[in-house]
Amino acid sequence: MTVWIETELCNGCMSCVKECPYGAIEIQEGRAKILDRCTSCGLCVLVCKQGAVHSDVVPREIPDFSDRKGIWVVAEQRGGELMRVSLELLGKAAELAEQLEEDVCALVLGWKTSGFAEELMRYGASKVYAADHRLLEHYRSDAYTKVVCELIENYRPNIVLIGATMLGRDLAPRISRRVRAGLTADCTELSIDEKEKILLQTRPAFGGNVMATIANRYSRPQMATVRPGVMKPGAPG
């Protein structure tokens, strides 16, 4: 798979340089040049108005996700206490929801969970789904995965956030595999791309030497786990 520039057509407008998520295009002597780090994602082909970028890669069509709405936080409780990371995620979810003009929902699984709804709503959830059963009192991979996946398939959220705790690190990949969605683990920052309205998920990469920002254009929900302690809970309402 190759991407190349037809230099006679290039006017050095920089559109492809700005679009490339991998910093793989430079302007040299007034013309674009593709660097070795190009991943052949094909985005620059789509933005060049001069038709100067060519590729033998067929760009993937982005599916219609207009039925996907809502930012979900899978809240974690232990022994009757909500884990602080759940409140931190609700704080971030509220920021993202404002930009997307979508609702924040919390999911809580356990036994005798009714007391959690009020606290989750005070910290930003506008809706709480509670799966309440004696068999969910303690974390079980299969049971928790089944319940969360069924809720995702029925209510079709746009984004699902889970704490990168012991529980979250076990649960999140199982869910993402089951619902065929991408997952970015151990994020330290989340934001919304202004233009595409998709989730930008930033996490350390290459042993922590660089920060990588990952976006998921082709599947939903957009799923991320977030390290505890890096985000702040919103002020309780």
> Is residue 28 involved in binding ligand SF4 (CB under 6 A)?
no
Q: Which CB, 20 or 105, lies closer to ligand SF4? A: 20
- For ligand SF4 (CB under 6 A), the number of binding residues is 28
Q: Which CB, 25 or 171, lies closer to ligand SF4? A: 25
Peptide bond into 221 cis (omega under 30): yes
- DSSP notation for 12-33: ---HHHHH-TT--EEEETTEEE
> Is residue 2 involved in binding ligand SF4 (CB under 6 A)?
no
- The 3-state DSSP class for residue 65 equals coil
CA neighbor of 126 nearest in space, from 106, 107, 110, 108 = 106
Q: Which CB, 8 or 67, lies closer to ligand SF4? A: 8
In the numeric block, the tokens 């919103």 are attached to: 234
Rounded Cα distance between 27 and 15, Å, is 11
Site residues for ligand SF4, window 52-91 (CB under 6 A)?
52-53
Q: Which CB, 41 or 93, lies closer to ligand SF4? A: 41
> Is residue 11 involved in binding ligand SF4 (CB under 6 A)?
yes
Which one of the spans 24-32, 80-88, 104-112, 221-229 is the region binding ligand SF4 (CB under 6 A)?
A: 24-32
Residue selected from 13, 83, 181, 215 as contacting ligand SF4 according to rule CB under 6 A: 13
Rounded Cα distance between 186 and 128, Å, is 24
CB 149 within 8 A of CB 175: yes
Largest Cα–Cα distance in the chain?
70
Q: Least distance to ligand SF4 from the beta carbon of 4, Å?
A: 10
Residue selected from 4, 22, 114, 141 as contacting ligand SF4 according to rule CB under 6 A: 22
Q: Which CB, 31 or 69, lies closer to ligand SF4? A: 31
